[in-house]
């Protein structure tokens, strides 16, 4: 491993390396030109944000005590073996740095796991990913903390559920599909609670690591080559955030294909799906840069949180308190949950090798 780090081109043909180097000669200049354009227009674009009333500081919000926090993340893996596949999915919850006065105890376990052997199926990963998302939502709904961080967008569960439901008719032979269809109602219930909760002592925040959304860029007329998060990382000063605004909506209304469910459970699921679709049309998004070393964070939340100054202050205070070190580029509990659960795919081959009579392809 150390040798591969020290000699990254060691296993590549020399001719291939030469061609790659030739094709990347101009890349550094192109990147520099992009940075120069942003720097040259920074004041202009910041002025536009101020004139539109989109620029605010966290100091303007009421002071709230440091909230308790936790982060939820998941991972899944499909190990292709000779005669079958080994599939595994897991979701974990990690508590954030606790305030000095916190005394509550969150009992373990703080994880959910699904492991199964399946026949070879190209779409097993699609269904398995939906199982993973469902476990994340269930853990998040049970968390007793004031601020719960979710990895990804609040729209991600609906997208992954739809993909799995569309493939479920072709994968009825998979035990993972049966498990997913049995648990979809519980996952939708947790999803709906996260989107619609009006509790003053709890809020759920989705913080995606990667996003191409341009709600503010479209409104401000910024170049199409920049997404909101990338550009606002240059424009926002430490402690600034953008005014909450509606999440960018898709061309077609949100929907969930529940036809694969049994008639007995479909009616209840359809009622929840309608409320979920309605709630997604009201989701609010803002960008917040708590510190100089941190890029702007995209934060998605329910309307009840965004429109209440005290709850919004608690949410931003929770983010700021969990981003106190330059080594971590997202809230601490999300970072730790990601590090823990992403070891699952790496560990699957070890589990396989510990079992007798299992052969790789």
What pLDDT was estimated at residue 357? Answer: 46
pLDDT-derived band of residue 99, with 50, 70 and 90 as boundaries? Answer: confident
pLDDT at 327: 82
- 20 part of a folded domain: no
Is 5 part of any domain?
Answer: no
Strands 85-95, 69-80: pairing kind:
antiparallel
Model confidence band, residue 358 (pLDDT cutoffs 50, 70, 90):
very low
| Banded pLDDT at 104 (limits 50, 70, 90) | low
Number of domains in the chain: 1
Does residue 64 surpass a pLDDT of 80? yes
279 within a domain of the structure (yes/no): yes
- Predicted confidence band at 359 (pLDDT cuts at 50, 70, 90)? very low
DSSP class per residue in 299-337? EEE-HHHHT-HHHHHHHHHHHHHT---TT-SS-HHHHHH
301-305 mean pLDDT: 95
Weakest-pLDDT range from 79-83, 220-224, 356-360: 356-360
In a domain, 203, yes or no: yes
**pTM confidence score:** 0.89
| Domain annotation covers residue 70 | yes
| Domain ranges, residue 97 | 56-353
Whether residue 141 lies inside any domain: the answer is: yes
Residue 315 lies in a domain: yes
Reported as type and span, the H/E element at residue 23 is: helix 14-23
CA 326 to chain centre: 21
What is the pLDDT confidence band of residue 159, given thresholds at 50, 70 and 90? very high
**Higher pLDDT, residue 27 or 221:** 221
- Mean of pLDDT values over 98-111: 74
First-to-last alpha carbon distance for the chain, in angstroms, is 24
Amino acid 3: pLDDT: 47
| Across 85-101, average pLDDT | 87
Residue with tokens 């401000």: 220
């Amino acid at each position: 491993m150390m040798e591969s780090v020290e000699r990254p081109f060691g296993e590549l043909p020399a001719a291939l390396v030469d061609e790659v180097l030739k094709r990347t000669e101009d890349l550094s200049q192109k990147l520099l030109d992009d940075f120069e354009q942003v720097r040259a227009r920074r004041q202009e674009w910041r002025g536009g944000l101020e004139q539109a009333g989109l620029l605010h500081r966290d100091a303007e919000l009421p002071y709230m005590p440091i909230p308790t926090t936790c982060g939820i993340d998941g991972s899944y893996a499909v190990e292709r073996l000779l005669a079958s596949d080994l599939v595994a999915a897991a979701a974990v919850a990690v508590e954030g740095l606790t305030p000095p006065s916190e005394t509550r105890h969150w009992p373990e376990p703080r994880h959910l796991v699904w492991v199964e052997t399946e026949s070879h199926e190209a779409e097993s990963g699609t269904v398995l990913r939906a199982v993973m998302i469902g476990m994340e939502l269930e853990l998040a709904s049970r968390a007793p903390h004031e601020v719960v961080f979710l990895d990804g967008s609040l729209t991600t569960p609906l997208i992954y559920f739809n993909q799995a439901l569309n493939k479920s008719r072709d994968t009825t032979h998979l035990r993972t599909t049966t498990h997913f269809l049995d648990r979809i109602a519980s996952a939708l219930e947790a999803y709906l609670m996260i989107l619609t909760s009006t509790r003053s002592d709890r809020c759920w925040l989705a913080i995606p690591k990667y996003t191409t959304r341009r709600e503010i860029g479209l409104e401000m007329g910024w170049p199409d080559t920049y997404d909101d998060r990338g550009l606002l990382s240059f424009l926002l000063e430490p402690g600034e955030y953008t005014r909450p605004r509606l999440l960018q909506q898709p061309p077609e209304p949100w929907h969930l294909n529940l036809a694969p469910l049994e008639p007995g459970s479909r009616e209840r699921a359809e009622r929840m799906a309608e409320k979920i679709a309605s709630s997604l049309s009201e989701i609010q998004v803002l960008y917040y840069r708590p510190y100089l070393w941190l890029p702007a964070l995209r934060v998605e939340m329910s309307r009840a949180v965004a429109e209440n100054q005290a709850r919004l202050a608690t949410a931003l205070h929770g983010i700021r308190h969990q981003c106190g070190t330059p080594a971590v580029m997202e809230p601490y509990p999300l970072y730790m949950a990601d590090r823990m659960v992403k070891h699952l795919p790496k560990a699957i081959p070890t589990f396989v090798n510990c079992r007798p009579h299992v052969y790789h392809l």
